[in-house]
A and B are shown apart, each in its own frame.
With several copies, the nearest count.
Chain A
Amino acid sequence: MADVTAERAAGTREITYREAVAEGIAREMRRDPAVVCLGEDIGEAGGVFKTTAGLFKEFGPERVWDTPISEQAIVGAAMGAAMTGMRPVAEIMFSDFLACCWDYLANEIPKVRYMTGGQVTVPLVVRTANGGGLGFGAQHSQATENWALTIPGLKIAAPSTPADVIGMMAAAIRSDDPVVFFEHKGLLATKGAPAPPGHQVELGRAAVVREGADVTLVALASMVPVALKAAELLGADGIDTDVVDLRCLVPLDVATVLASLARTSRLVTVEENPYQGGWGATLVSVVADEGFGLLDAPVRRVAGECVPLPFADALEERVIPTVDKVVTAVRTLAAY
């Protein structure tokens, strides 16, 4: 995916991931009057993460709607609107709160098209701030993209760069299928090249963000910079890693992973999800089947510990994958 690297280089003024979210939504709102936003404090306040900053001012109260604290109503209303001609973009403030409207994500939105025999589509986006590392404690820090992975019928996007945020937001909002869009809290302040006008990143297309011959590292969202940093350190050691940014869990770009594995024969996944039930498990299970012949070593998952997220930094670091843990895992594997 040389284009990503190219884009990264091309940018003149860097933008933050946070700005990219608002920009990505704004581009689609300008293009298509059916796009409307709803969520808690997303209007005049610009969102608690300021990821909708400027939208209310530009598009006004008929396009940007503040809601009560009613996650079921937010996502349920988005569903009803999506079924009847709108393209709602619903914000669930923290991805942990998806649990408060899980029925809509698990049982309603992803199933209604199928169970009506294809009579309706549900073109909506549920955006949410995801992930840990900021000391927000057990109920505001989870990486929950794996919850969505348990549910057939949801597309799952989790960009790692500002340009991808914009490109994937465009693809998500234009998608006729429901998309859960995970914006990583730990990346909001990070900067990257801006996206060219009309930028779109097809959902389900992974990016090889570093090329290497020895080990494949597959990561998502905030784990992409962790993997890249580890790759850098490992490079100094003479271990040459391929780093794949999955970008989406559904569609899952297995082909890109297997292609990388064909070069490296070794796989380490890096995920923020707890090991039990994390997305890496699904990917590894595909590889253990279809890629078995490619493997020269065990597959290792660097994943979150199977505990709730603790508050203190010193504890949280023990739970979420770090560069060190990735380096150690890759070293062990390279030596196998």
Chain B
Amino acid sequence: MVDRDELLSLYEQMAVIRRTEKAAHDLFLQGLVKGTTHLAAGHEAIAVGASAALHDDDYVFATYRGHHHALARGATPEECLAELMSRATGLCGAKGGSMHLTKAATGMLGSYAIVGAHLPMAVGAAWSARLRGTGQLAVAFFGDGATNIGAFHEALNLAAVWKLPVLFVCENNLYMEYTPIADVTAVAHPAADRAPAYGIPGEVVDGNDVVAVRETVARLARRARAGDGPAIVEAQTYRHFGHSRADPAAYRPAEEVERWLKHDPLDLARGRLVELGVRPETVTAADDRARAVVEKAVEAAKAAPGPDPSEALTDVWADGGAAWRT
């Protein structure tokens, strides 16, 4: 199980994510973030719990709802917010935006905005790890909605046949954009119930319990690294904001929202910390640090310069350029 210090650290990471998402939301409403955002407030325990079970050199592939994964895998709030605010100091130099947060240097190999597309990529990264004999693992995080797209099926089967060290972690937040996943899926657990179709384990876990997520991912990661093949984790969770931008999520029943808000990953972790005998002041101090980090990040991102327009014509090719003709 988890010890106090570690749990406190996980808690603080979650607090940083929560505050970063809140900041992103406010900045969007202030017109400082353009395009769109898909906030992960509510999903923190999945990113943090899973990342805690990974090695530093493992690979993570995430979706347009990927701020939490970037942060859990080594990106700073400042880098993330700067990207959202179109700053040159952003993670991707303002070329990617909210949907494409990436920090390759720390194994966060990208956020992809086409539902399901990154699952085969994660399979490929796991294949590569095996070919290179590095013991690395790849993890793909994705939404419940991704379980009905073709790439999901192809990725799962290939990973299973080749027995690759890859985990498929579904963040089941009950909804796609505005439509309940239950309305358009033939089985109750859109991810886990598909595992038998690939002869692999599929586990359902409380995605708001950082300890449970960490434990489940760690166990299946060990199994995968040992050569026993991939697995599906279906982490049940709920998003605190709407799907994207200013979506008020009016399509969700009030009772359901309330029930889930009471099952907040931060509250759960706080409860566990208290059970472990951590003092309230210690938790509050972590909260304060998180707030301070994010506040500083917002200010720094605001102060950073925008990208030089000439950057638009760089980085298509490995030589740094964009020439397509002589």
Contact = CB atoms under 8 A, between A and B. Distances in A.
Contacts of A48: 177-178
B115 to A, nearest CB: 5
A76 B104 contact: no
Nearest to B101: A116
Interface residues of A, number: 86
B121 A317 contact: no
B146 A69 contact: yes
Contacts of A307: 312-313, 316, 322
A199 to B, nearest CB: 22
Interface string B290-326: 0000000000000000110111111111111011111
Nearest to B59: A84
A41 B176 contact: yes
Contacts of B176: 40-41, 68-69
Contact of B307 (A68, A136, A314): A314
Contact of A311 (B100, B148, B151, B323): B100
A107 interface: yes
Interface string B153-190: 01101100110000000000000111100011100000
A255 B311 contact: no
A134 B315 contact: no
Max chain B CB contacts within 10 Å: which of A84, A251, A313?
A: A84
B194 to A, nearest CB: 13
A180 to B, nearest CB: 14
A305 B315 contact: no
A308 B199 CA distance: 39
Contacts of A254: 325-326
Interface in A59-80: 62, 65-73, 75-80
Contact of B124 (A40, A62, A81, A319): A81
B179 A66 contact: yes
A203 to B, nearest CB: 11
B59 A41 contact: no
A135 B315 CA distance: 18
Contacts of B74: none
B158 A308 contact: no
Interface string B88-119: 00111111111110111100011011111111
Nearest to A286: B325
B121 A83 contact: yes
Max chain B CB contacts within 10 Å: which of A81, A120, A253?
A: A81
Contacts of A134: 34-35
Contacts of A81: 124-125, 127-128, 131
Contacts of A44: 178, 251
B138 interface: yes
B13 interface: no
Max chain B CB contacts within 10 Å: which of A104, A110, A253, A314?
A: A314
Interface string B59-95: 1010000000000000000000001001000111111
Contacts of B269: none
A62 B128 CA distance: 11
A206 to B, nearest CB: 9
A43 B128 CA distance: 18
A76 B145 contact: no
A126 to B, nearest CB: 13
A24 interface: no
A34 B15 CA distance: 41
A256 interface: yes
A147 interface: no
A313 B35 CA distance: 9
B145 to A, nearest CB: 5
Nearest to B83: A311
A310 B146 CA distance: 25
Interface in B265-307: 306-307
B40 interface: no
A76 B99 contact: no
A121 interface: yes
Contact of A77 (B35, B59, B96, B124): B124
A89 B110 CA distance: 22
A108 interface: yes
A83 B125 contact: yes
B312 A310 contact: yes
A70 B132 CA distance: 23
Interface of B: 34-36, 59, 61, 83, 86, 90-100, 102-105, 109-110, 112-129, 131-132, 138, 145-146, 148-151, 154-155, 157-158, 161-162, 176-179, 183-185, 251, 306-307, 309-320, 322-326
17 contacts: A66-B179, A70-B158, A77-B127, A80-B123, A83-B104, A85-B132, A103-B151, A108-B121, A112-B110, A113-B318, A115-B92, A117-B94, A152-B322, A250-B325, A252-B324, A314-B312, A315-B94
Given A69-B184, A250-B325, 16 more contacts: A45-B177, A73-B157, A73-B158, A80-B126, A81-B128, A84-B109, A84-B124, A108-B112, A116-B92, A116-B102, A139-B112, A175-B318, A255-B326, A311-B92, A314-B309, A319-B312
